[in-house]
Amino acid sequence: MNITFRQLRLFLAVFDNGSVSAAAKLTHVTQPTASMQLKEISNAVGMPLYEVISKKIYFTDAGKELAKTAREMLHAWTTFEQTMDATKGLARGKLRIAVVSTAKYFMPRLIGQFCKKYPDIDISLEILNRDGVVKRMRENLDDLYIMSQPPSDMDLQDDIFLVNPLVPIAASSHPLTKKNGAPLSALSDQRFILREKGSGTRMTVDKFFKSHQFRPDIRMELGSNEAIKEAVAGGLGIGVVSKHALHGHQKEHGVAVINVKGFPITSYWHIVHPAKKQLPPVASGFKVHLLNSVKSIKS
C-alpha cells in the first residue's frame, strides 16, 4: 500500500471538514487534484472510503479507520519534527488547544504571551461548550484541553492550574445588591438564569445547590455567559457565572455580584489530555507556560 503523508493530510482534512473543496483549500491543492488524490487513496486501500449522498459525505468503516490511523501517524511525525527542532534550539510547530467557552476570557491572553516568546509557533484554538471539548478529546483532535469539569470516565493527565470562582449576579438595581451576607434562603423567591445542563458551570452549581438542599426556580437555561448577563441586566432573574466572565470586576454591563453566604463556589480550571498521549514539545512547553503564568490572572 503506497500512500504519501501529503495524501494522508488531504484525506484527514476531508474527514474533519466533510468537504473535498474545503480540504483542497486547506491543503493548497486544486479541487480536481484533491479528487484525483482521494481516488488514488481508495485504490491503494482497495475499499471505498466514503460515499456522497445528496452532496453530503458519509465515511465507511474503512474510511473512519484510515482517518484514525492517519491522525496517529501525523501526530507521531509532528512530534518527531518538533523534537528534532528542539534539539537544534528551534521553537516552531503547531499547537492545538480546545477550551470551554468561559475560558475565552483569559486563555487568549496566556496564548498571546506564549506567542510573543515563540513567534514561529502556529496556534489552533477551538472554543466550544463542554460537550464539544470532551468530544474532541475522545477523538484525540488536539494537544491540550482546558475545562473546569473533566470527564470521569477517561484516563486523563489532569493538572489544576487556576481557581474558577462562581458568583451570583443580579441587575445593578436589584435590592439584593445592597445587602451584605444574605443567606441562601434569601434567593428562594428569585427566578434563576443558569448555564445549560452539561456545562461545567452548571454541574458545579447544581452540586452546590443539592448539597445545601436548595431548589432554584429556574426561568431560563442559556448557552453563554453573555446571554446570561444580558438576561440578568434586563431584570429576568439571578444568574451564577464564573468571576472570569466579569473580567474580575464586581460590577459590569448592568449586573453586579451579590453577597450571598456560601458564595463564591470554588471550582478550578484544569489542563487535561489523555494519559497515554505523548505531548509534542510545543504542547509540553505551553503547559509549563500556563502553570507558570496564571499568577498574573486575578481569580
pLDDT in tens, 145-193: 999 999 999 999 999 999 999 999 999 999 999 888 889 999 999 999 9
**Which residue from 154, 167, 131, 156 is spatially nearest to 267, judged by alpha carbons?**
167
How far apart CA 187 and CA 219 sit, in angstroms, is 13
- Predicted local distance difference test score (pLDDT) of residue 223: 92
- 8 A C-beta contact, residue 210 and residue 235: no
Give the whole-angstrom CA distance, residue 184 versus residue 263. 9
Q: State the sign of the Cα–Cα–Cα–Cα dihedral 33, 36, 42, 45.
A: negative
> Quick check: 164 and 267 in contact, CB under 8 A?
yes
> What is the CATH code of the structural domain delimited by 163-267?
3.40.190.290
pLDDT (tens digit, 0 to 9) for every residue of the chain, 299 residues total? Answer: 688 888 998 999 999 999 999 998 888 889 889 899 999 999 999 989 999 888 889 999 999 999 999 988 888 887 787 777 766 555 778 899 999 999 999 999 999 999 988 888 889 999 999 999 999 999 889 999 999 999 999 999 999 999 999 999 999 999 999 888 889 999 999 999 999 999 999 999 999 999 999 999 999 999 999 999 999 999 999 999 999 999 755 567 799 999 999 999 999 999 999 998 888 888 998 998 998 887 656 54
Distance between CA atoms of 157 and 141, rounded to whole angstroms?
A: 16
H-helix segments, 55-166? 61-87, 107-117, 130-138
Topology (CATH level 3) of domain 5-68? Arc Repressor Mutant, subunit A (1.10.10)
Looking at residue 299, its pLDDT comes to 47
Predicted TM-score (pTM) of the model is 0.71
Residue 178 backbone dihedrals phi, psi, to 5 degrees:
-100, -5
Single-letter code of the amino acid located at 63: G
Closest by CA to 60, choosing from 11, 131, 26, 24, is: 11
10, 44 contact by CB (below 8 A): no
- Same CATH topology for 5-68 and 72-161+268-296: the answer is no
Q: Where are the domains of the chain?
A: 5-68, 72-161+268-296, 163-267
CATH class of 72-161+268-296: alpha beta
